[in-house]
Amino acid sequence: MTMLALYMFPLLFSLLLLGVPVAFSMLATATVFGWIVFDTALVFQLVEKVEDVASNFVLAAVTLFVFMGCMLERAGIAEQLFEAVHVWTRRMPGGLALGTVVMCIIFAASTGVIGATETVVGLLAIPVMLKHRYDKPLICGTICAGGSLGTIIPPSVVVVVMGPLANVSVGDLLVGMVFPGLIMAGLYVAYIYLLCRIRPDAGPVVPAEEDTMTVAEKLRITAFALVPPLFMIVAVLGSLMLGLAAPTEAAAIGAAGSVLLAAFYGRLSWATLNGAVMKTLQVTAMIMTILLAGSMMTGVFIGAGGVTLAQELVDKAQLGPWGLLALVLGLTFLAGFFLDWISIVLIMIPLFTPLIVAAGFDAVWFCILFLVMIQTSYLTPPMAPAIFYLRGIAPPEITTGHMYRGVLPFIGLQVLTLIIVLVFPQTVLWLPSKLLGFN
């Protein structure tokens, strides 16, 4: 019976390769193998999984974070942020690209929703960088890599989904990802700056005659466009990191803050609110359906003895703790070529987290390593969601070839971030221990 669990994955991957949506692929796999394992009791098993997901209050944060991002997008607040950042960076080598990364960091810390960040920032940044003759692969790499930072910079919808699956506190994960996220973003900034210093044609400096604003004007724009959103970010992340609010409560603060921001800028209307709510409904329904299907499949996998089988295979392989960790991260990297992030999380986290913890590694540290590796899945073809998002908004002169060449250096920077976190676990563990008393 235990070997039966292994046969679930060929069926799942076959359905995915045939183009069957992720949720329906997992549901079909869970139903077929669940009937073999549980017979008629399968109905009760699946109903129990529906109740588990529906009653998990932590997942309410998903809806609230998604609404926060949709509200900021619909209210056009990103446009003001873009201008406020670029007035300070445009006179630097690669300044428009540097400003785009900074914009992505701010927007990622405001939303946690990847598609929204990349689409909005891409629509704003691409025309400006093309106008100033920026290197097209650099444009593509900057927007794809920067736009996906919402995975590793809190608040992150990925973490809210991952925490319950790994039996790890979402708060510990959100705090633990702060330094790895900043390290990755810092590497992006350093790479762009050094590239444009070495190759000035890759990111030309904006001519002085185009930068006619006085310092007072720049400060005024910054105060109006940048400071209010930063207050919202500080309220969300500050309440979370100081232990004043649970993730769901912090998400509620962000959702309310996004509405207040829209009102502050005079952008709050019925059309804006209705558009944000409907978009939130679509995104949340998609995530929850996939999560429910994944939970059902995980239940069947465990019931078929999958975890026991995996433990036996690992023991027979005699990989050792570090060999096991390398295997899991390597499989995650390979999975990123073919699967989206939620599929990778739902398949691998419940399967491998118990094995990693049994090998003596910290669960929070492992989850952040896993998260960093998931970053590569946004950029590695053929799936590469970040490239798909960019393809949908890029003008004809930017080709798919530009995109593939542009993301390669950033994949290397993501791997470098992984190595730093591997070598220095305190980049993950120090901040939760100080702020949340996590050991």
Q: For 195-221, give the DSSP string.
A: HHHH-GGGSPPPPGGG----HHHHHHH
In tens, the pLDDT along 125-162 reads 888 888 888 889 999 999 889 888 888 888 777 888 88
- pLDDT band at residue 179, thresholds of 50, 70 and 90? very high
* Nearest 10 degrees: Cα torsion 68, 69, 74, 75: 60
| pTM score of the predicted model | 0.80
Q: Which residues contact 386 (CB under 8 A, 6 or more apart)?
A: 114, 118, 144, 145, 147, 148, 378, 379, 407
In tens, the pLDDT along 75-99 reads 777 777 777 887 787 778 888 889 8
Q: Which two tokens stand for residue 426?
A: 């305190």
Measured CA to CA, the distance from residue 313 to residue 426 in angstroms comes to 31
Output helix, strand, coil percentages for the chain, rounded to the nearest 5. 80, 0, 20
Q: Which two tokens stand for residue 195?
A: 């590239």
In tens, the pLDDT along 274-284 reads 888 888 888 77
Average pLDDT over residues 293-306: 76
Measured CA to CA, the distance from residue 431 to residue 433 in angstroms comes to 5
Measured CA to CA, the distance from residue 89 to residue 412 in angstroms comes to 25
Nearest one of 66, 62, 8 to 34, comparing CA atoms: 8
